[in-house]
Amino acid sequence: MTVNSVTSNGPARAGEALHDGRQQTDKAIPEAWKLDPSLLAGLKLPLETFKNNLIELDLPRKSDILSQSELEITESYSVYELLTGLAKGSLTSLEVTTAFAKRASIAHQVTNCLTEIFFDQALDRARALDTQREQGKPIGPLHGLPVSLKECFQLDGIPATLGLLAYSGHVSTTNSALVELLTELGAVFYCKTNIPQTMMAADSHNYIFGRTLNPWNTSLTAGGSSGGESALVAFRGSPLGVGTDLAGSVRIPSLCCGTYGFRPSADRIPYFGQQSCANGGLRTITSCAGPIANSMDALEVFMKAVVNATPARLDPFVLDIPWREVRGTIKPKLRFGVIPEDSVFPIHPPVKNAVNKAVKLLEANGHEIVRLQPEDCLVAKSALVAWALMDLDDTADRVVAAGGEPPIPARVRMREEMAKIDWSCIADVGSTPGVARLAALTVKRSEIINAWRKLWQHHQLDAVIGPPAQNTAVEHDEYGIPPYTQLLNFLDYPACVIPFGRARSLNPPEKFESKAGQSAPKYNPENLDGAPCSIQVFTQKMRDEECMEIAKVVDRCLH
């Protein structure tokens, strides 16, 4: 029994593709690594409808698929410790890759987080890297480390379908720039992870591979668009995952699954050569690649290794700027702005509680807090301008139509939520698509970016913290619009999501109700009980190094 017992609606062709895609991925799992059905006997089915905590179930330990040393490798080592062991020879790449491949296999069988599996290829590379290390020839700072990749990254010889029927026959004949770079640095790729149809939704669900489930609660979304990545990392089936982020696609799944996620400034990390369903000539809001992991140190390891490897050699758009060491320049006591609740996008009680608790802990550690005003932060207006800019590109809709598949429910829900909002603040940009509308929206974006520049200067801020979303993970297809993550893509600010606590259902439950003109997911406190909560930390554009260092300060305060 696997997560494939879950059903999905769609036309006949979509149903056939879903069956074939899942079957192909499942077949790639070695028979010895498949779960005994008896281990899953206590789960409530269908998984996507009922609350099941797969983390507490501890299937990797109960299954006897992993040895004791493999359990320790996947559970007890940080990325830094893994790399140290790999460099010294106390760990081999073969044993580390095998451990994470086994655990990824288990994760997929219950969360449906993987799209492509190529374990044999990975184990061959791990053996070769071990031989090189034994000869005193390690090839880079990530030598021998297993790294998982979001479906959109291209690896030569591996399919890259984006979960779209129109792309169902596509097999990559080249590597994405970041894949090429990480290979040079010594990474071992072993799997690719699931995404939403078009990568423009917060629910990782498509008609080729199906839906990814949240390992903390299978009735909740794993987030998107890097949802398969974060579900895998949360299950500890990967020590370091790579996602992408256009409106929060690294940070949304991180907040949903309780992982750490970093969105760098655009063009710091190579993005060139990815499979895409967008118009490459419309770079209105620039997507970027970023890491997902279970600790801050893993995020920093990734950023330093990639940025210091001169990625401009492989990507014509990457800024040729080395990673700056800023540790000694960060003040011991920092001045934090706090993002307030926007009236258009009200915040669920657990998220409010997490932010308030984080603020108190920062104050208790001597940091200064400045509570920003909603009218200064322009969260709603930023979201509207951002979505209007992205709506200029209809390529994804045309690709979906060409494949003969319907939009996934999460994309339909997003449109429904947008229809609830008052768009009059950007009515003057006109409704006819074209250069004039693009120019008018770009002017509005520039005005908001400049307003934020003035906000930083006026309050003399070192960083800003706040909610990464209105909500924790919510039921499948209910996430809606992501204004609090989209804001940072719109401003092009580096941002880090830090897991912090759990949602708790109180008796009586805290009330939440959205009003006319507002957009918010439904709040079901009983079902959300135990869902991960998170905090978002961000700095100004190109201050990625400061953002990382300050996020480490916040992480220490919170934990």
| Range name among 198-202, 253-257, 278-282, 340-344 with the lowest pLDDT average | 278-282
Confidence of residue 119 (pLDDT cuts 50, 70, 90): very high
Confidence of residue 5 (pLDDT cuts 50, 70, 90): very low
Residue 330 located in a structural domain: no
Q: How many CA atoms lie within 13 A of 28 on its CB side?
A: 22
Q: List b or e across 46-71, with b for residues whose CB sees 16 or more CB atoms inside 10 angstroms.
A: ebbeebbebbebebbeebebbeeebb
Task: Verify that 287 and 381 share a domain, yes or no.
Answer: no
Decide if pLDDT at 7 tops 80: no
Confidence of residue 501 (pLDDT cuts 50, 70, 90): very high
Number of domains forming the structure of the chain? 2
Task: Verify that 302 and 361 share a domain, yes or no.
Answer: no
Q: Contact at 8 Å (CB) between 122 and 128?
A: no
The yes-or-no answer on residue 249 being catalytic is yes
Decide if pLDDT at 156 tops 70: yes
With a pLDDT cut of 70, the percent of the chain lying above it is 98
Task: Verify that 174 and 235 share a domain, yes or no.
Answer: yes
Q: If DSSP codes are grouped into helix, strand and coil, which group holds residue 96?
A: helix
Q: Contact at 8 Å (CB) between 484 and 469?
A: yes
Confidence of residue 430 (pLDDT cuts 50, 70, 90): confident
Decide if pLDDT at 461 tops 70: yes
Residue 322 located in a structural domain: no
Provide the residue type at 104 as one letter. Answer: A
pLDDT of residue 11: 61
| Pairing assessment for the beta strands 368-371 and 335-338 based on DSSP bridges | parallel
Q: Which of 102, 150, 381, 444 is catalytic?
A: 150
Decide if pLDDT at 433 tops 90: no
3-state helix, strand, coil in the chain (%, to 5): 45, 15, 45
pLDDT of residue 4: 40
Residue 329 located in a structural domain: no
Task: Verify that 97 and 245 share a domain, yes or no.
Answer: yes
Task: Verify that 303 and 346 share a domain, yes or no.
Answer: no
pLDDT of residue 13: 75
Span 298-347, pLDDT tens digits = 999 999 999 999 999 999 999 999 999 999 999 999 999 999 999 999 99
Confidence of residue 482 (pLDDT cuts 50, 70, 90): very high
Domain of 300, CATH number, reads 3.90.1300.10
Q: Cis (ω within 30 of 0) for the bond into 508?
A: yes
Section 527-535 average pLDDT: 98
Task: Verify that 383 and 281 share a domain, yes or no.
Answer: no
Quickly tell me which residue has 């997003």 as its tokens.
Answer: 414
- The Cα 165–Cα 148 span in angstroms is 23
Section 70-74 average pLDDT: 98
| Single pTM value for the model | 0.96
Section 366-373 average pLDDT: 98
Residue at a domain's end among 262, 283, 313: 313
Task: Verify that 401 and 517 share a domain, yes or no.
Answer: yes
Task: Verify that 38 and 154 share a domain, yes or no.
Answer: yes
pLDDT of residue 62: 97
Confidence of residue 352 (pLDDT cuts 50, 70, 90): very high
Decide if pLDDT at 191 tops 90: yes
Decide if pLDDT at 17 tops 90: no
pLDDT of residue 254: 98
Span 408-423, pLDDT tens digits = 999 999 999 999 999 9
How far lies 272's CA from each of 243, 284, 293, in Å?
Answer: 14, 16, 23
Q: Which of 63, 225, 254, 287 is catalytic?
A: 225
Residue 262 located in a structural domain: yes
- Residue 267: left (phi > 0), alpha (psi -120 to 50), or beta? left
pLDDT of residue 540: 98
Decide if pLDDT at 8 tops 60: no
Task: Verify that 388 and 419 share a domain, yes or no.
Answer: yes
How far lies 90's CA from each of 76, 142, 280, 417, in Å?
Answer: 15, 15, 45, 53
Residue 210 located in a structural domain: yes
Section 362-391 average pLDDT: 98
Residue 9 located in a structural domain: no
Average pLDDT over the chain, rounded to an integer: 96
- DSSP codes joined into one string, 403-470: TT-PPPHHHHHHHHHHHTS--GGGGGG-SS-SHHHHHHHHHHHHHHHHHHHHHHHHHT-SEEEE-SSS
Decide if pLDDT at 429 tops 50: yes
Give the domain range for residue 478.
335-558
Measured distance between the N- and C-terminal CA atoms of the chain, rounded to whole angstroms: 38
Section 280-287 average pLDDT: 92
Task: Verify that 111 and 51 share a domain, yes or no.
Answer: yes
Confidence of residue 6 (pLDDT cuts 50, 70, 90): very low
Span 227-275, pLDDT tens digits = 999 999 999 999 999 999 999 999 999 999 999 999 999 999 999 999 9
Residue 8 located in a structural domain: no
Residue at a domain's end among 279, 313, 347: 313
Span 78-109, pLDDT tens digits = 999 999 999 999 999 999 999 999 999 999 99
Residue 2 located in a structural domain: no
Confidence of residue 19 (pLDDT cuts 50, 70, 90): low
Task: Verify that 370 and 301 share a domain, yes or no.
Answer: no
Decide if pLDDT at 10 tops 60: no
Residue at a domain's end among 283, 313, 343: 313
Q: Which of 172, 176, 238, 249 is catalytic?
A: 249
The residues near 401 (Cβ < 8 Å, ≥ 6 apart) are none
Task: Verify that 517 and 383 share a domain, yes or no.
Answer: yes
